[in-house]
Amino acid sequence: MKKIIFLFPLLAIAGISEAQSKNNQQLEEARKAITASNAVFSDLAMKGDGSILSRYTEDACLLPPNAAPLCGKENILKFFNGGPKVHCKFIIQNIYGSGNDFVTEESNYELYDLNHKLIDEGKIIVIWKKTKDGWKMHRDMFSSNRAVQQ
């Protein structure tokens, strides 16, 4: 009987360890997909041909600073086509979640003009959703670290 009682906690610990390992693997896979998506983000945004929408879910919302949420692909496309042409650099700080259906990205960003001059820097929170086509941005919120110009 003592052997069974002793064995049960070991099996429970092994099960927890296996679940954590699976979770870590799923988060690492999500991180790789997010890193790859972020790497092409500004190139797609600058095209102005709607290809940036391939990064977003069908029911995505963009949450820009000092503005109402922009939901739906048509509104998101208007935002990118109406904005300045910039290069984006994303520096992932953390990826949170289980890695199953949703993860949250916490990153810093840097924006450069077409002459590679730094014009803004800030932070983003993106809720990514796993779809049949891979990880897509579902909610995209960002804000500058710089003071608002009056």
Q: What is the full per-residue pLDDT of the chain (150 aa) written as tens digits?
A: 555 555 555 444 545 555 567 678 999 999 999 999 999 998 998 888 999 999 999 999 999 999 999 999 999 999 999 888 899 999 999 999 988 999 999 999 999 999 999 999 999 999 999 999 999 999 999 999 998 887
Taking every pair of C-alpha atoms in the chain, what is the biggest distance, in angstroms? 75
Task: Confirm whether 29 is domain-assigned.
Answer: yes
| Contact (Cβ atoms closer than 8 angstroms) between residue 99 and residue 42 | no
Task: Confirm whether 149 is domain-assigned.
Answer: no
Q: What CATH number is attached to the domain comprising 76?
A: 3.10.450.50
Task: Confirm whether 66 is domain-assigned.
Answer: yes
Name the residue type at position 44: L
pTM of the model: 0.83
Number of domains in the chain: 1
Task: Confirm whether 150 is domain-assigned.
Answer: no
Task: Confirm whether 134 is domain-assigned.
Answer: yes
Tokens coding 130: 């796993």
Task: Confirm whether 34 is domain-assigned.
Answer: yes
The residue assigned the tokens 């003009």 is: 113
* 10 exposure class (CB count in 10 Å sphere: 0-12, 13-18, 19+): exposed
Question: What is the extent of the structural domain holding 96?
Answer: 2-144
- pLDDT for 11: 47
Task: Confirm whether 59 is domain-assigned.
Answer: yes
